[in-house]
Amino acid sequence: MTAIRLLLVDDDPLVRAGLSFMMGGADDIEIVGEAADGAEAEALVDRTRPDVVLMDIRMPTVDGLTATERLRAREDAPQVVVLTTFHADEQVLRALRVGAAGFVLKDTPPAEILAAVRRVAAGDPVLSPTVTRQLMRHAVGTAADTRRTRARERLAALNDREREVAVAVGRGLANAAIATGLFMSVATVKTHVSRILAKLDLNNRVQIALLAYDAGLLEEEQEER
């Protein structure tokens, strides 16, 4: 089995040392570098080609949010897992919007951080529907109406089936559960997800979930039940 190539990014050398010690003991993970800020992280990504970047948000020079956006805009972008101190943080939500695959708290048990890295390396987001709702409730609300209007405009590009899949992704369902609920094969679900990502110019399922939430589709589905 090929090891997951992991880059650690945090401005605190003690945090980096702790993460390195924790992650370095896993047989399926190879730490390819450490960076103290976003600019250094970008340079290391060029040299080391990591599969996953474990990224602190608050750093000097170039912060984790800016670095995440720049990295995820690349053609061969690594997955990014955000490191944070707070569950409900506007900057965490912004990081998810620009392409982070999820986040973990800095006091998360080591086994859970390892599991998060493995999940995003496999293409699965690290974000539950409960956490998504919590983040959205704590987000700055002044632009909520504008976000809803824009989200609905973007989702208008989807056909009815793709819209159903987008709602299911927003609920946090895995492909197998979506397939069962919508009476289609897992392969068809994957095809729909890929088409949604392409049509809406998104790069992961977390962004689909956030867009569905912004548009109010999850609320509408709940009301219909």
Provide the pLDDT for residue 142.
45
Give the tens place of pLDDT for each residue, 44-97: 999 999 999 999 988 988 999 999 999 998 888 999 999 888 665 677 888 888
Show the beta-strand stretches assigned E in the chain.
4-9, 29-35, 52-56, 79-84, 102-105
Q: Which two tokens stand for residue 83?
A: 């490191």
44 φ/ψ sector (left φ>0, alpha ψ -120 to 50, else beta): alpha
**Closest CA relative to residue 52, chosen from 37, 30, 70, 67:** 30
Provide the pLDDT for residue 95.
86
pLDDT at residue 4 greater than cutoff 50: yes
Report helix, strand or coil for 51: coil
Out of 28-32, 140-144, 203-207, give the one with best mean pLDDT. Answer: 28-32
Instruction: Note whether 129 and 170 are within 8 A (CB).
Output: yes
For the entire predicted model, the pTM comes to: 0.76
- Cα 158 from chain centroid? 22
Out of 21-25, 166-170, 194-198, 221-225, give the one with best mean pLDDT. Answer: 194-198
Q: Give per-residue burial for 63-99: e unless 16+ CB within 10 Å, then b.
A: bbbbbbbbbbeeeebbbbbbbbeeeebeebbbbbbbb
Pick the residue with more confidence: 59 or 146? 59
Q: Average the pLDDT over 14-25 and give the result.
A: 89
Instruction: Note whether 117 and 138 are within 8 A (CB).
Output: no
